Amino acid sequence: MSSAPPLSGIKVLDLTKLAPGPFCTMILGDLGAEIIKIEEPGPPTGRRAQQAGAAGTQGPATSFSGSPFNALNRNKKSIGLNLKSGPGKEIYIRLAQRADVVVEEYRPGVAKRLGIDYATLSARNPRLIYCAITGYGQDGPYRDMVGHDLNYIATAGVLSLLGRPEQPPTIPHNLIADYAGGGMHGAIGVLAALVARQQTGRGQYVDISMLDGAVSLLAQSLSSYFASGQIPRRGETMLDGGIPNYNVYSTSDGKYITIGSLEPWFFANLCRTLGCEQFIPHEFDPAKREEIHRFFTEKFRTKTRDEWFEILTKSDICVGRMLTLDEVDKDPQIRARNMVVEIDGADGSKVRQVGISLKLSDTPGSIRSLAPTLGQHTEEILGGLGYGQEQMERWRSEGAIK
């Protein structure tokens, strides 16, 4: 029998809006934490209304952020709170006094101007863990610069590695700095601080920079450069298309098969299956790479992607189909691992979302609720803080809450 999720009893205040912060708190929520989203009351105006790409979507922030299909806001409660108002700030500070974690992604200095920064809150709650996710971090010459994922991965050196030779670098969506460098590192930082708090009894400030996170993902690449002094050329290394046996090939149906047969035994299996045993001794021969690549290219065009996948998986070969998003949830391995799940919506409909990637044997995470509407839990949360209905109605009429 499984126990409660590992973060049960942990209360997190979520001040975030765009991809990295909501992904961080989604991870914490999936692991059982109670996530309270602090959202601005009232319809969005100005920049907030214009802001696009929320949570990795392609449309305006307001069109998707509260949608039940938005996995980043699942397992969260929503309170509409104007932090620039006196009542809003009072409520927030009272919430923070009872919270375990705050996650925000303001520009450096904004939280201090609002009077809700770590120094202010930790004086009232020394056990509070305060995680700030920013582009460049809380110090350094770029501290106050604005940016997005593309800017951070460019500065980190990641972008210089992505793409084909003699071509402009390939923009890899906002997965590297936003989600891995920012959101995932933020969750790791919070979890580490929670463990440290068990030892010290005190919370701490967790400074997460998306640039730092992107640089850390280059640990092996940078270590290799530091040791050799050789700058890898885009599209010409073993792991980015520079060799034929770690590459992508078009098939007869216009789809793509991926080959990752780096080790000699896997390369030998590939050559035997494709009928080109003569290449087995030449895996590491630069003079043969063009000839091998040309053979592979022509050979893979003779069958469909799925036909090749069926053939190659029977011969202990590192192979994968390049799936488009409409194919992902049909893949048997992804289904078996519950990485696309169906959740019951409030209206009885079925909502598909990405599943939980962290598989814990005794204390698994869970999806307990879909994304809330703005202010859906305001009265519940304020009632828990001891505020009465009359007071709530007055603050609502003043625009302090929703």
d(CA 45, CA 60): 12
What pLDDT band is residue 56 in, cutting at 50, 70 and 90?
A: very low
**Catalytic residue selected from 14, 117, 149, 178:** 178
The whole-angstrom separation of Cα 116 and Cα 92 is 8
pLDDT of residue 346: 81
Residue 319: phi and psi, rounded to 5, are -140, 150
What is the mean pLDDT of the segment spanning 345-359? Answer: 92
Number of H helices, E strands in the chain: 17, 11
Of 284, 338, 333, nearest to 309 (Cα)? 333
Per-residue confidence (pLDDT) for residue 45, from 0 to 100: 60
For 247, residues 6+ apart whose C-beta sits below 8 A from its C-beta are 241, 258, 259, 293, 296
Q: How far apart are CA 103 and CA 132, in angstroms?
A: 6
Inter-CA distances, 144 with 130, 183, 276, Å:
19, 20, 57
Active-site residue, 306 included: no
Is residue 101 within 8 Å of residue 176, measured between CB atoms?
no
* Per-position DSSP letters for 290-345, written without gaps between them: HHHHHHHHHHHTTS-HHHHHHHHGGGT--EEE---HHHHTT-HHHHHTT-EEEEE-
Q: How confident is the model at residue 63 (pLDDT cuts 50, 70, 90)?
A: low
Is 44 a residue whose pLDDT tops 70?
Answer: no
pLDDT digits (tens, 9 = 90+) for 125-178: 999 999 999 999 999 999 999 999 999 999 999 999 999 999 999 999 999 999
| Ordered structural domains, the chain, with CATH | 11-216+338-398 (3.40.50.10540), 246-328 (3.30.1540.10)
Q: What is the pLDDT of residue 55?
A: 40
Backbone angles phi, psi at 299, to 5 degrees: -65, -45
Please classify residue 324 by burial: count the beta carbons closer than 10 Å to its beta carbon, then call 0-12 exposed, 13-18 middle and 19+ buried. exposed
Which range (4-8, 61-65, 168-172, 363-367) has the least confidence? 61-65
Instruction: Tell me whether residue 178 is one of the annotated catalytic residues.
Output: yes
Q: Of 148, 282, 293, 331, which is the active-site residue? A: 148
pLDDT at 384 over 80: yes
Cα torsion angle, 382, 385, 388, 390, sign: negative
Label the pairing between strands 246-250 and 76-80: unpaired
Mean pLDDT, the chain, rounded, equals 94
Strand-strand pairing, 246-250 and 256-260: antiparallel
Mean pLDDT for the stretch of residues 285-304 = 98
Q: For 66-112, what is each residue's pLDDT tens digit?
A: 788 899 999 999 999 999 999 999 999 999 999 999 999 999 999 99
